[in-house]
Amino acid sequence: AQKVTQAQTEISVVEKEDVTLDCVYETRDTTYYLFWYKQPPSGELVFLIRRNSFDEQNEISGRYSWNFQKSTSSFNFTITASQVVDSAVYFCALSEPRTTSGTYKYIFGTGTRLKVLA
Amino acid sequence: DAGITQSPRHKVTETGTPVTLRCHQTENHRYMYWYRQDPGHGLRLIHYSYGVKDTDKGEVSDGYSVSRSKTEDFLLTLESATSSQTSVYFCAISPNNQPQHFGDGTRLSIL
């Protein structure tokens, strides 16, 4: 069965510390996509990154970086030199094709709440 | 920003009353989704649509129905609201396997 596990319910760090958010997924498909979303205290969901199953290259965007490892079914997210504005709930998600309707099925993890303290 | 609007943004109602939430998009995307967000559960899919009048159930569809009579609108209806349906509801749109873009959410309280 498809599943996304974010084992870290809540993490607290002091500003400028690096922090890694873990995401482990399960799927039987060879073609799938992985996503990270951010939900700040204001409540909206903001897309951060998409990675397809055939691209294991790590991605860096400013202070954010993502490590995709198919061997361990993980798609971890690291924030370098964290800032108070990074405080949010972060969701990892998996999408894979449905056998019917031609659409993709999205499965979300339960989220990790990150608190960055000044 | 993706053109997606949810209405109402907040609603308080009583058990047993019908409730309809609206999701409106201006992106002409084929796929639309309704999720609910609850503490400890993340986002769970209620129903989704892959075209006008084409809808299917998600993982938590009991007690909910949907309709999509035109591309831009996707309605979620609680026929007889229960307290367990108190939640934050998010609509999302996407061109299939592309990232989903979410509305700002509807906070629904059922007393």
Query: pLDDT tens-digit profile of B19-59?
Result: 999 999 999 999 999 999 998 888 999 999 989 999 999 98
Q: How far off is chain B from A11, nearest CA to CA, in Å?
A: 15
B18 dihedral zone (left: phi>0; alpha: psi -120 to 50; beta):
beta
Asked if B97 and A33 come within 8 Å (Cβ–Cβ), the reply is yes
Asked if B31 and A103 come within 8 Å (Cβ–Cβ), the reply is yes
Q: How many beta-carbon pairs under 8 angstroms link A with B?
A: 51
Please list, residue by residue across A46-60, b when 16 or more beta carbons sit within 10 angstroms of its beta carbon and e when fewer do: ebbbbbebeeeeeee
Among the partner-chain residues A50, A91, A101, the one whose CB lies closest to the CB of B43 is A91
Which residues of chain A does B48 touch, with a Cβ-Cβ cutoff of 8 Å?
103
Asked if B45 and A106 come within 8 Å (Cβ–Cβ), the reply is yes
Look at residue A41 and tell me whether its pLDDT is greater than 90. yes
**Given pLDDT bands bounded at 50, 70 and 90, which one contains residue B95?**
confident
Q: Could you tell me if B57 lies within 8 Å of chain A, comparing CB atoms?
A: no
